[in-house]
Structure 1
């Protein structure tokens, strides 16, 4: 990584760390590669009035060697039920991480990416999904989507509140069959919490 890239990344990290607004929003970063500043862990607090409220979502962020001429990469480490995030891999569908990134724009930076991801939690774009199953549920069965996304936030991101007892019971039933709780949550979510369909899907 060039000195230019390292200096740019260092500056952008300082901007995030020293900006009190980020702390207020519940956005923090931790440098995982002190030498090149190429690898970060970020934490984003789920925004209020959403199913993700007060969840703690961890992101893995990697800067390419030729940053800022190419966009950084970011994905969720914490599992999240969201139309624009893969429920399996954490890959994020966000235009500034792909074709909209422009080194000519002074506004495109680590700061922009972190704020945009938090905004995406508040304002999903199901018409341009990363996870088609989640997007379909969001558009056609919104109450079920909200219920599922809230449960995932509670279970995987430490969100507040008591978990839905019916969902917990269904997870236990499927886990007895497949012996993997995380997979049970995922397959139930993809099958609208139908236990029979979930078990049939796994065993088919």
Structure 2
């Protein structure tokens, strides 16, 4: 059975440290078994400036079993499937320990963005490009970050305005858009549910 008291504590810890780490975790619905994590792209990498959304589902055995994490935001990386967002990371598999938290797991995923392991790939095509045509890899990774992981500030204001015109309070529209990574359809879905 999932220890929901612990999950609550972990969410509070993430909220407290958000300014420093940039890592955010929020419940997807009423259930704490389905969460959304957001990590900033590490500085000095092709992912810099991006905001990456990760789907988190907690198995019944959490924290004794690892959380299942998948990138929602498309990302070009040897250890992350460019198709499904699956992540190849030992602590999400056999190296998990109940001492780890959602925050440490997301920090590890963020660290993976900084230091790919092309010899243990999740996406063989990306790994080959990383090993054989590094500059092309960097360019593609940067392009994917620009295309899929960056939310333009202008767009956010327009989306907030649209939601306000539909009758939602501005602060609520803003916080909901923020919680869903700027996806106005998801924000609307959340505001209407």
Range class of TM-score, shorter chain: 0.7 to 0.9
Paired position in structure 2 for 1:83: 78
Paired position in structure 2 for 1:149: 141
Paired position in structure 2 for 1:31: 27
Q: Distance in 1 between matches of 2:151 and 2:12?
A: 28
Q: Does 1:125 align with 2:117?
A: yes
8 Å contact kept, 2:26–2:35: yes
Paired position in structure 1 for 2:97: 102
Higher radius of gyration, 1 or 2: 1
> What secondary structure, in the 3-state scheme, does the structure 2 residue paired with 1:33 have?
coil
Q: Does 1:115 align with 2:136?
A: no
After superposition, residues 164-203 of structure 1 pair within 5 angstroms as: none
Paired position in structure 2 for 1:93: 88
> What secondary structure, in the 3-state scheme, does the structure 1 residue paired with 2:37 have?
strand
* TM-score (normalizing by structure 2): 0.75
8 Å contact kept, 1:80–1:152: yes
Q: Pick from 38, 46, 66: which aligns with 1:71?
A: 66
> What secondary structure, in the 3-state scheme, does the structure 1 residue paired with 2:55 have?
strand
Which stretches of structure 1, 4 residues or longer, exceed 4 Å deviation after superposition?
A: none
Q: Pick from 12, 15, 23: which aligns with 1:14?
A: 12
Displacement of 1:114 after TM fit? 0.8
* TM-score (normalizing by structure 1): 0.71
Compute the RMSD of aligned alpha carbons.
1.5
Displacement of 1:102 after TM fit? 2.2
Would you say how many aligned residue pairs link Structure 1 and Structure 2? 152
Gapped regions of structure 1 (runs ≥ 5): 161-204
Displacement of 1:26 after TM fit? 2.1
Gapped regions of structure 2 (runs ≥ 5): 153-193
Displacement of 1:159 after TM fit? 7.0
Q: Pick from 109, 121, 130: which aligns with 1:138?
A: 130
Q: Distance in 2 between matches of 1:97 and 1:42?
A: 14
